[in-house]
Amino acid sequence: MKTCLIIIDVQNDFIPGGALPVPEGNEVIAEINAVVGYFDYVVATQDWHPPDHGSFASNHEGKIPFDQTILNGLNQTLWPDHCIQGTRGAEFHSELDTNAIQAVFRKGMDPTVDSYSGFYDNGHRHQTGLAGFLRGLDIWRLFFCGLAGDYCVNYSVKDALDEGFQCHLYMPAIRPISQDSYREILKELTTRGAILHDELTAPAGIPS
Ligand SMILES: [Zn+2]
């Protein structure tokens, strides 16, 4: 069965020094670069917001980052401005091996809804095209890595499970914002069928 590595949001703003840093986020880069060659396909997602995005606290009078609000009928955590289209913060980290990436799926362009998952916006109203891309290539076995484990990786894996894909998490190449919530999320994802890996070996050796 063909395999695909899905690299979630390894962008400057999510790395220490960026606008919305994930603790130790930089540590995923070398882990990802070490395994990209093991997969038939490699794709990446990129958070890609317009400056007026509704997930930014700065666009809500009287709110500060990490406040809660309702955005277009959905619960929304408000974030610092991050991953604004065309800025350095939105670029993939310069040390990430982007030569291996065959396709990039951008998300979060609609200012009225946030998009944690690489497959759908948070309201499940629009697709990014990633599911169709994978099905079109007859890829059903997905390995996830990137940032952040408790947000965009988590929601991507949940959507992929719902879409019928076999889901694997490459643990050394994932970091969460909150370790406590990530622990609970991993229990839920494995209960739903996701498989966690602490190591991967060359193509033939990728465990089923
Ligand atoms: Zn975002």
pLDDT exceeds cutoff 80 at 206:
no
State in Å: Cα 166 to ligand 1 middle: 26
Catalytic residue chosen out of the listed positions 4, 83, 145, 152: 152
Average pLDDT (83-93) is 98
Give the pLDDT confidence score for residue 31 in this predicted structure: 97
Give the pLDDT confidence score for residue 155 in this predicted structure: 98
**Per-domain residue ranges for the chain?**
3-49+83-205
pLDDT exceeds cutoff 60 at 207:
no
Give the pLDDT confidence score for residue 201 in this predicted structure: 78
State in Å: Cα 100 to ligand 1 middle: 24
How far apart are alpha carbons 189 and 54 in whole angstroms?
28
133: left (phi over 0), alpha (psi -120 to 50) or beta: alpha
Catalytic, 167? Answer no
pLDDT exceeds cutoff 70 at 205:
no
- Domain 3-49+83-205, what architecture? 3-Layer(aba) Sandwich (3.40)
Per-chain residues with Cβ under 5 A from ion ligand 1 = 47, 108
Using N-to-C axis directions, what is the helix angle for 179-191 and 152-162, rounded to 10°?
Answer: 10
Query: 25 phi and psi, to 5 degrees?
Result: -55, -30
Catalytic, 152? Answer yes
State the DSSP code for 165.
Answer: -
As given in the structure block, the two tokens for residue 35 are 């395994």
pLDDT exceeds cutoff 70 at 208:
no
Catalytic residue chosen out of the listed positions 4, 9, 121, 159: 9
Average pLDDT (136-142) is 96
- Cβ neighbors of 101 (< 8 A, separation 6 or more) are 7, 42, 43, 44
